[in-house]
Amino acid sequence: MEMENPANASFAFLEERTMHESLSVVMLGLGYIGLPTAALIASKGISVHGVDVNADVVRTINEGKVHIVEPDLEGLVTYTVAKGFLKANTQPVPADVFLIAVPTPFREEHQPDLSYVESATNMIIPHLREGNLVILESTSPVGTTERIAGLIFAARPELRDRIYIAYCPERVLPGKILFELERNDRAIGGLDARSGEKARAFYALFVKGQLHVTTARTAEMCKLTENAFRDVNIAFANEISLICERLGIDVWELIRLANLHPRVNILQPGPGVGGHCIAVDPWFIVSSAPDRAHLIKCAREVNDSKPHHIVEQVLRAASGLTSPVIACFGLAFKANIDDLRESPAITIVKELVASRAGRVLAVEPNIDVLPDELAVGGALQLVDIKTALREADILVLLVDHREFTNVDPLSLKGKIIIDSRGSWTSTRPIS
């Protein structure tokens, strides 16, 4: 679309300014991506108004504290809140730039659920003004950026050709989010060329990585493709692990030897795939072209089946014991974080509790209380490592948190070990 001299002169900073204290940003969603991004932007002296529907999250942030586990994040939030650059509320305010970083889960049959994105968009519509920049960061199906533009212009037709809209997904690894937010390259997709350039100029204020401008649809598909690629490679490792188990081969040794080949780099198998990206994003591709996405769908099915295989291993081990106690080590979707979203460990623990095969203990050093979905009925206990090692007959390693990999091997003696991560090296009793 052709932009006609937006009246809001605040975007002069995108063209020439090096000082940007007067710039204002609204961040919708203060979770694992939104809060670190908001804090990073605020650390550059930019006024950031964070928005979250959870009043407890808002209160915590305004106290200079954080509600998630991420290295260095609390220090940055404490600093930016104390300096007055970062504030949180349950409602948005007028601003120059609006960032949307809310969840995009899926509904039944793995269909995308865009209700959070649509709700966030509707929240900002009354506050939009000519010259504003709206950026969707949430991982989304192809066409979502166009969809939010449609919502905006349906409600505010006078803003057509008067605001800028773009898509820019994150590329970060939990545990290194702040570093990677600043250093990683970004793909920026504008609904038109000028929107792409406006978004590029904005990210240049706080991102040191290279900024690559493309179309919104290409940027949306780029994010999905990155995570589908990883999912397919993990599925290969998980399928090899199932075959090795059938053939009596140590999969960890096999992969180590295979990776000595100069052009082979097999990933490590595990109990499945979790997190809000890799476990979800490939389904967005499948839903958009189900008659074409055969390999991607198959990989998802392999990885989704792995938790049930772990449960079968545990149930076989428990069947030979009287009143067994089963300790599951790890609930997060990956090591050394507290993020439980789409975690295969959660699926495994829920199935073990439902099976009534024995008393089930959960060990997760990064949380203080069980999530609601596991706390129902009190059938699951959250315990520390020492208690689990002392009381359990079967030890199930689901996440290789540093606290677990440092466990004294002697404390495993006499236990049945089911090691989905290869950190305890054996699936047989240690004699």
pLDDT-derived band at 372 (thresholds 50, 70, 90) equals confident
Q: Is the pLDDT of residue 139 over 70?
A: yes
Of residues 308, 305, 282, 307, the one with CA closest to residue 295: 282
* Confidence band of 20 (pLDDT split at 50, 70, 90): low
For 314-331, the pLDDT digits (tens) are: 999 999 999 999 999 999
Residue that wins the pLDDT comparison between 327 and 3: 327
Q: Identify whether 151 is part of a domain.
A: yes
Distance CA 428, CA 418 (A): 7
For residue 379, the model assigns a pLDDT of 87
195 and 63 assigned to the same domain: yes
Assess whether 310 and 382 both reside in one domain.
Answer: yes
Question: In 3-state terms, what secondary structure has residue 106?
Answer: strand
- Where is the domain boundary, 217, 237, 261? 217
Given phi > 0 = left and psi -120 to 50 = alpha, else beta, which region is 377? left
Looking at the structure, do residues 137 and 264 belong to the same domain, yes or no?
no
Same domain, 16 and 154: yes
Look at residue 431 in the predicted model and tell me its pLDDT. 38
Which of 196, 217, 238 is the C-terminal boundary of a domain?
217
One domain, residues 191 and 264: no
The more confidently predicted of residues 337 and 56 is: 56
- Number of domains into which the chain is organized: 2
164-167 and 186-190 strand pairing: antiparallel
- Side-chain half-sphere CA neighbours of 247 within 13 A: 10
Instruction: Report the distance separating Cα 322 and Cα 3, nearest Å.
Output: 74
Chain Cα centroid distance, residue 151? 26
Angle in degrees, 0-180, between the axes of helices 251-258 and 216-247, rounded to the nearest 10? 120
Q: Is 322 left (phi over 0), alpha (psi -120 to 50) or beta?
A: beta
Q: Which residues pair with 381 in a beta bridge?
A: 361
CB atoms within 10 A of CB 374: 20
In terms of domains, do 165 and 307 share one?
A: no
Q: Are residues 96 and 184 in the same domain?
A: yes
59: domain range? 10-217
Whether pTM > 0.85 for this model: the answer is: yes
Mean pLDDT value of segment 378-383: 90
CATH number at residue 294: 3.40.50.720
Query: Is residue 51 within 8 Å of residue 29, measured between CB atoms?
Result: yes
Cα(315)–Cα(349) distance, rounded to whole angstroms? 12
Which are the catalytic amino acids?
223, 277
User: Per-residue confidence at 21, pLDDT binned at 50, 70, 90?
Assistant: low
Which helix (H) or strand (E) segment holds residue 151: the answer is: helix 144-155
- Yes or no: say if 128 and 163 are a contact pair by the CB < 8 Å rule: yes
In a domain, 335, yes or no: yes
Q: Determine, yes or no, domain membership for 238.
A: no
Same domain, 206 and 256: no
Quick check: 214 and 166 in contact, CB under 8 A?
no
Judged on CB neighbours under 10 Å (0-12, 13-18, 19+), 136 is buried
The pLDDT-based confidence of 429 (bands split at 50, 70, 90) is very low
Give the helix/strand (H/E) hosting 211.
Answer: strand 211-215
318 and 380 share a domain?
yes
What rounded mean pLDDT belongs to the chain?
92
The pLDDT tens digits of the residues spanning 331-369 come to 999 999 888 988 999 999 999 999 999 999 999 999 999
Domain match, 252 and 122 both: no
